[in-house]
Homo-oligomer: A and B are copies of this chain.
Amino acid sequence: MNAQIGVIMSRWLSTEEMQERILEAADRLFYRQGIRAVGVDTIADEIGISKRTLYNYYPSKDALIAAYMSRRLVTLEITDRPPLDQILGAFDGLDRSIAAKRFRGCAFVNAVTELGEGTPEAHKLAITFKENRRLWFRELLSRLGVEDEDRLATQLAILLDGAIATALVRGNSAMTGAAKEAAALLIVSATKKKRKR
Considering only residues 151-197 of chain A, those with a C-beta below 8 Å from chain B are 151, 154-155, 157-166, 168-171, 175, 178-179, 181-182, 185-186, 189
A146 contacts chain B at the CB level, 8 A cutoff: no
A109 contacts chain B at the CB level, 8 A cutoff: yes
What distance in Å separates the Cβ of A111 from its nearest Cβ neighbour in chain B?
9
Contact B168 A158, beta carbon cutoff 8 Å: no
Contact A113 B108, beta carbon cutoff 8 Å: no
Contact A130 B169, beta carbon cutoff 8 Å: yes
Which of chain B's residues have a CB closer than 8 A to the CB of A141? none
What distance in Å separates the Cβ of A181 from its nearest Cβ neighbour in chain B?
7
Chain B residue with Cβ nearest A37: B116
Which of chain B's residues have a CB closer than 8 A to the CB of A160? 162
Chain B residue with Cβ nearest A162: B162
What is the copy number of this chain in the assembly? 2
A34 contacts chain B at the CB level, 8 A cutoff: yes
A126 contacts chain B at the CB level, 8 A cutoff: yes
Whether A158 contacts B154 in the complex (CB less than 8 A), given A116-B34, A186-B182, comes out as no
The contact sample of 20 A-B pairs, CB cut-off 8 A, is: A33-B116, A104-B113, A106-B165, A109-B113, A109-B168, A112-B169, A123-B171, A151-B178, A151-B181, A155-B178, A155-B181, A157-B162, A158-B182, A159-B159, A159-B182, A161-B162, A162-B163, A164-B165, A182-B186, A185-B185
A112-B168, A126-B169 are known; give 20 further A-B pairs, CB within 8 A: A34-B113, A34-B114, A36-B114, A37-B116, A106-B165, A109-B165, A109-B168, A109-B169, A113-B113, A130-B169, A155-B178, A155-B179, A155-B182, A158-B162, A158-B166, A158-B175, A164-B165, A185-B185, A185-B189, A186-B186
> B-contacting residues of A (Cβ < 8 Å)?
33-34, 36-37, 104-106, 108-110, 112-114, 116, 123, 126-127, 130, 151, 154-155, 157-166, 168-171, 175, 178-179, 181-182, 185-186, 189
